[in-house]
Structure 1
Amino acid sequence: MIPDVPPRLPDKPTRFMDQLRSLIRSRNLAYKTEQTYCHWIKRFIRFHGMRHPSTCSTTEVEQFLSQLAVQRNNSVSTQRTALNAIVFLFREFLQQPLGELSFELARKPRRLPTVFTHDEAKAVIGHLEGAPQLVARLMYGSGLRINEALRLRVKDIDFGMQQIIVRSGKGNKDRTTLLPDSLLKPLTLQIEACLIQHKQDLASGHGEVYMPFALNRKYPNAAKEPAWQYLFPAGKLAIDPRSNVLRRHHLLDRSVQRAIGAAIRKAGIYKQANSHVLRHSFATRLLEAGYDIRTIQKLLGHADVRTTEIYTHVVRKGGFGVRSPVDDGF
C-alpha cells in the first residue's frame, strides 16, 4: 500500500465509510484531510458504542469533544481538528447540521517550536548523504514540509525563475518558494538521475507515475512524460492501489525521517528535534535576517499569519531579542 495515494473506492459504494470517502473526494479535499476526517469520525463512532452517527444528537457531539479536553488532555488544535471532522460529517454527509455546541474547551498550552542554530542545521545535514541530504537541504533552504519535498516532480523546479512550485500543500493549496543558489547544481544532478531511472523503467515496460485527480484521463500520456516524474523516486516499483498498475512512487517520508533522526543524534544535538525542525529553522533564520513576516508566511504556506508569528518567540537571543543587563559587566 502506498501511504499517500487514495485507495480505489467502489463505483457505487454501499459501506458507510466508503460513502463518506466518496463525498470527501467529490469536494476535491486533500487525501490527508480525508484520512484525518475518517480517523476522527471513526473515533466518534467508537466513543458512542458503534452507534450510527445519524442517531446521535448535539449532546453526543459535545460529550465526545469534552472528553478530548478533560480525559484525553488533547491540545486546542487537536480538538479543533476533531470538531471540523464531526461538523463535516453532520452538515455535509448526514445533512443534519448541528446547532450551537457547548463543550469543554481544551486548554493545553501551545508549545514553542524547537529550532536549530545555523551551525546545528549544518551539522545535521553534514551527517546525511544522497536523497535524504537533499531533502533536508530543501526543508532548511526553502521551508518545505517533508512530504512537500518528496512529492516534488521534475516540472516543479523552475530554474528560470529560480523558484520551487509546491503543489497541493497543506490545505490543498499551491504556492511558490525560493530555490537557493546552493541547490541549483544538486537539483540539476538529481533531475538527471531520476530521468535515467525513468528511461530504465520505460525500457522495462513501466515508467508511469501516479497522476493527481482526473489528470490521467485528461492527459493519458502524461504519466510517462519526464516532466511528471517524481524528483525523489522510490527504490522499487509498487502497485498503485487505485489502478493496480505497477508504478514507481516517491520515497516514503518515514525512511527520510529515520535518516534525519540518526543524523541529529550523530551531530550530538540533545534538543527534542525531528525532521520538521529544519522547516522551523528556515523561518527563524529569515526572521533573524529581518524579512517581513507576511513574506515568510507566504513562503511557508501558512493560512494565518498568527501561525508564522510564533517564530518571533524563538529567534536567536531568546526573550524577544532583548540584551540582558548582566552582559554589560559589573
Structure 2
Amino acid sequence: MSEATYDVVAIGNAIVDVIAQADHDFITREGMTAGSMQLLDAEQATGLYGRMGPGREISGGSAANTLAGMAAMGARCGFIGQVANDQLGQVFIHDLRATGVTFEVPAREGEPPTGRCLILVTPDGQRTMNTFLGASHYLPVAALDKGLIASGAILYLEGYMWDPEEPRAAMRSAIITAREAGRRVAFTLSAAFVIARYRADFQALIDDGLIDILFANEEEIVALTEAPDWEAAVTAIENKVPLLVVTRSEHGAVATQNGERIAVPAEPVERVVDTTGAGDLFAAGFLTGQAQGRSVEDSLRMGAIAAAEIISHFGARPEADLKKLVAEKLG
C-alpha cells in the first residue's frame, strides 16, 4: 500500500448556507419543528427565502464543513462534490479552496442551481434547517477522481448524499476504489430521515465490513438499530464496526473500539449561539486526531474542542484558531 498524500478525501453536498435569526413564532407559523431538518424544492426554497429575515451567506455542506475544520487544524484534505456554474457555485468553490482543501470537480452547466440551506437560528441557539439540494445531488460516477480517492488515508462519506441515485452510485464506486487501495472508509449517518429511507442499505454496508469508522448522534444510532435507547443501540452495533463514534450534545461523546468504550464530556461553552455544524466539526476534530496518530480518547477530545468552538458563533466554519485551541488543551 502506497503512502497516503491526503489525510481525508470526502464526498458530500456542496451547499451554501444562508443563516438568519428567527423567533419560535416564525418557526411555528412556517409549520416547522425547531431543531429539525427538512428538504425543500426550488419553489419552497424561493418562498421561504423571501420570508426570512436578513441572512449571512456561508459555504456549508456537512462533509465540506468537516474538511474545512480539518484543514484549519493542519490536515491535508480533498473534496468531491457538485456545484452549478452560477454565483453560489463560485462562492462555494472559492470558500473551500481558500481553506486549503483540494476541490477540482468541474461546475455543472444548466439547472438546477447550486444547493443552499436556509438556516433559522432561534434565541436558544437551535437551528432549523431547510435544504434545497440543487446541483449537489447530481454528482455522477464520472466526476470521481479515483487517484484522489486512492491517495486519501480515509474516505469520508456523507449520509445525506445516499438519497439520490447518482451520488449513491458514486459513493459505492468510491468505496470500492478506497478498499482496493487499502484505505479506511468513514461514514456519517447524517439524519434520522435518511436512515429511515436507507436503513437496509446502511446496515448492509456495515454487515459487509465496508465501514471502518461510523459517526452518529444519539437519535441516529437509535434510528439505525431501532433499539429502545442510545446505549442499547451502541451495544447492538459496536461489534460490527471497528470504530463507532456517537455524539451526545451537552453530554459529550462516546466511542467504542475493540470492545472498549471511551467517553469524554462536552467542552464548556460560555454561550451557545448556533448549533449548526456541531457534528461536522466534531468529526473534523476526531478525524484530525486519528490522522495525527492520537488515541481515540484524544481524538474525541479534539472533536469536542472543535464542536465547542463552532457553536459559540454563527455558521459552520471555524472562526477561532482550532490548531491553537487544541494545542492549549491537549498539547
TM-score (norm 1): 0.25
Structure in which a larger fraction of residues adopt strand: 2
- Structure 1 or 2, whichever has the larger Rg, is 1
Write 1 or 2 for the structure with the bigger share of helix.
Answer: 1
